[in-house]
Amino acid sequence: MQPTTQRRKAFILLLLCGLLCCLVLSACGDPVSPETTTLPKPTLVYTGKDFTVKYLQGWSQEENANRRLVAFHSTPDKDMYDARTDSTITIGSVDTTATAQQFIEKQLLDLKTQLKDFQQVPTATTVTIAGREWQQRSYTATTQALNGSDVTLKAVMLVTKLPDQRVFLAACGSAQSAFEQYQKQVFLPMLDTLTIKNG
């Protein structure tokens, strides 16, 4: 396996909690460097099987076959993903009888065994966004950048229970140095536009 593919898979595991192995990439636009740019508001609409959300122009999408989970990447080319500057935001639903808290705790246990230097970061365990209560967990892990150097990634995962044996997941991750900007300028504005069908 090439080093670039290993880095991309490690980052996807970090964000998608092992849920997005079957996604297929499609690319569009130019990457955005959070260190030097004020990011625009999300304007393009993505319609999944059971949700709609606005996302940034220039971000690529990676969706699973049934369009219930999608990852938005700040880079248009999967082979050029660089953990030093790029971000991934994952949104979608998963079938489960577990509560939101049970689901998120299970994902954290799985990540702890799969990721290098995994550490949970103290944060509020519940948050309310757009009138919906979410379980929230944050964590860091180490991966490699395109140049082979180690990069500390930071991610936040949000999970809310839906009434019909599903949970809804939203996660954002990037290099720790860029995380706050991606979270505030992209992730939270995207969640403000989120509409969950039958939820």
Q: CA 8 to CA 77: how far, in whole Å? A: 11
Predicted TM-score of the model (pTM): 0.79
Q: Looking at residues 98-119, what average pLDDT do you find?
A: 94
Q: CA 84 to CA 143: how far, in whole Å? A: 10
Question: Is position 34 within any domain?
Answer: no
Question: Is position 35 within any domain?
Answer: no
Q: pLDDT over 70 for what percent of the chain?
A: 78
Structural domains counted in the chain? 1
Question: Is position 116 within any domain?
Answer: yes
Domain residues for the domain of 61 are: 3-28+41-196
Question: Is position 77 within any domain?
Answer: yes
Q: CA 149 to CA 146: how far, in whole Å? A: 7
Question: Is position 192 within any domain?
Answer: yes
Average of per-residue pLDDT values in the chain: 80
Q: Looking at residues 75-93, what average pLDDT do you find?
A: 79
Question: Is position 33 within any domain?
Answer: no
User: Could you tell me the pLDDT band of residue 27, with boundaries at 50, 70 and 90?
Assistant: very low
User: Could you tell me the pLDDT band of residue 118, with boundaries at 50, 70 and 90?
Assistant: very high
User: Could you tell me the pLDDT band of residue 84, with boundaries at 50, 70 and 90?
Assistant: confident
| 172 in Cβ contact with 159 (< 8 Å) | no
Question: Is position 36 within any domain?
Answer: no
Q: The domain spanning residue 10 has which CATH number?
A: 3.40.1000.10
Q: For residue 74, how far is the Cα from the chain centroid?
A: 11
Question: Is position 164 within any domain?
Answer: yes
Does pLDDT of 90 surpass 90?
yes
Q: Looking at residues 69-84, what average pLDDT do you find?
A: 78
- 136-155 burial by CB neighbour count: b if 16+ within 10 A, else e? bbbbbbbbbbbeeeebebbb
